[in-house]
Amino acid sequence: MTEIDLRRRACIVGAFEHPTRKAPDKTSAQLHAECARGALEDAGLTLSDVDGYFCAVDTPGLGAIDMAEYLGLNPRHMDTTELGGASYLSHVSHSVQAIAANKCDVALITLAGRPRSAGGGIGATGPYISPDTPDLPWERPYGWAPAPMYALAAMRHMHEFGTTSAQLAAVRVAASLHAQYNPNAMLQTPVTVEEVLASPMISDPLHKLDCCVISDGGGALIVARPEIARSLARPVVNVLGAGEAYKGYLRGQVDVSWSAAALSGPRAFAAAGVSPQDIQYASLYDSFTIAVIMQLEDLGFCAKGEGGRFVEEGNLIAGQGRLPFNTDGGGLCNNHPEHRGGITKVIEAVRQLRGEANREVQVPGCTLAVASGLGGMIGGRHATSTLILERE
């Protein structure tokens, strides 16, 4: 069956990142509403223009049903796809499909939460799991949690390819060099490789500074038909290609040295008709430093096993390297709202394509970017979503 060509069938016309990193005085619903308002104002649209709503389980109550009422929406299409941190990139892809199928004209995507105010931790212990969860007796007794599962992948990558802790630390160094120019970033002070390695060990080989921040806040995106996009006083950002993938335990043939991005990435590049060598900027999911190194390899920016060296050579640093990444500081330094950094990856890619990133980290003449989202645990079952975005 031939897939429908979705290139340039819809555009991202609004993007907003909530400036709050700790919001004890706000509800989750309020944060969603403030993000929606910000994205609509950025686009030059109103709530009455929205006829499609996309969200995940971070929405409170009955999810999309309650939020549609709270926001005053009257959508004719709704999508509540849940893929963890990858959800919001998939929502962009799904909104393009919905627009192409005439299910909606203007789609709103929101993410918001307040885990920092609620006392969320660094991921060394697992989240609450319902007693009905089928994997509960098989995984939870053995320390199933984000940090140990990412550490498992990091340790295997080190064993297979000689990746070092210093190379992992170089990811954090690059993110911190960018975060110093972001006044909203939680951690704005640049760090050195030595400082990363001197930070407390969370789950061997991952140190504290190999792990993302915990923040409140959120973000929102507006996706619309091209004719609507071109009627607005904003640069047009086309969705050029998208891909989604799932990777589990492969019926016992476990190999944690690669991620589902090795599947979603090629699908996105093929749909867009471009190659990794064409990309000028990358927003890569960075819940942990090892995730960045593996995505670099799996998306085709370097060979498998070469990610550590790629980072060590400074290739992720704006103004220096050949693939600037996460120029807002990313999840490692800027924010990681509701333990889900996917939507902020798209937001910073949009800023780069519009030429609206901080001038110290803006990629000159940026016209093609990739955004990569990851949900679940890279050392176990997880999903990825990849977007190729283009400035028209």
How many C-beta atoms lie closer than 10 Å to residue 247's C-beta? Answer: 22
The answer on pLDDT for 37 being more than 50 is yes
Q: What is the mean pLDDT of residues 262-282?
A: 97
Q: Which residues contact 369 (CB under 8 A, 6 or more apart)?
A: 279, 280, 281, 282, 283, 349, 352, 353, 388, 389, 390
> What is the tens place of the pLDDT at every residue in 61-110?
999 999 999 999 999 999 999 999 999 999 999 999 999 999 999 999 99
Q: What is the mean pLDDT of residues 52-57?
A: 97
Q: Measured between alpha carbons, how far is 354 from 320 in angstroms, rounded to an integer?
A: 21
Q: Measured between alpha carbons, how far is 17 from 326 in angstroms, rounded to an integer?
A: 14
| Burial of residue 47 (number of CB atoms within 10 Å: 0-12, 13-18, 19+) | middle
Q: Measured between alpha carbons, how far is 299 from 308 in angstroms, rounded to an integer?
A: 14
> What is the tens place of the pLDDT at every residue in 295-329?
999 999 999 999 999 999 999 999 999 999 999 99
Residue 55 has what pLDDT? 98
> What is the tens place of the pLDDT at every residue in 64-74?
999 999 999 99
How many C-beta atoms lie closer than 10 Å to residue 312's C-beta? Answer: 20
Asked if residues 343 and 58 have their Cβ atoms less than 8 Å apart, the reply is: no
How many C-beta atoms lie closer than 10 Å to residue 127's C-beta? Answer: 11
The answer on pLDDT for 2 being more than 60 is no
Q: How confident is the model at residue 135 (pLDDT cuts 50, 70, 90)?
A: confident
* Maximum CA extent, the chain: 56
How many C-beta atoms lie closer than 10 Å to residue 3's C-beta? Answer: 8
Q: ω before 205 within 30° of 0 (cis)?
A: yes
Residue 294 has what pLDDT? 98
User: Between β-strands 368-376 and 281-284, what pairing exists: parallel, antiparallel or unpaired?
Assistant: parallel
Residue 250 has what pLDDT? 80
Q: How confident is the model at residue 3 (pLDDT cuts 50, 70, 90)?
A: low
Q: Which residues contact 231 (CB under 8 A, 6 or more apart)?
A: none
> What is the tens place of the pLDDT at every residue in 151-183?
999 999 999 999 999 999 999 999 999 999 999
- 94 versus 144: the higher-pLDDT residue is 94
Which domains can be identified in the chain, with CATH numbers?
A: 11-118+217-231 (3.40.47.10), 136-214+238-391 (3.40.47.10)
User: pTM for this one?
Assistant: 0.96
Asked if residues 220 and 109 have their Cβ atoms less than 8 Å apart, the reply is: yes
Asked if residues 219 and 35 have their Cβ atoms less than 8 Å apart, the reply is: yes
Angle among Cα 368, 58, 118 to the nearest 5 degrees reads: 115
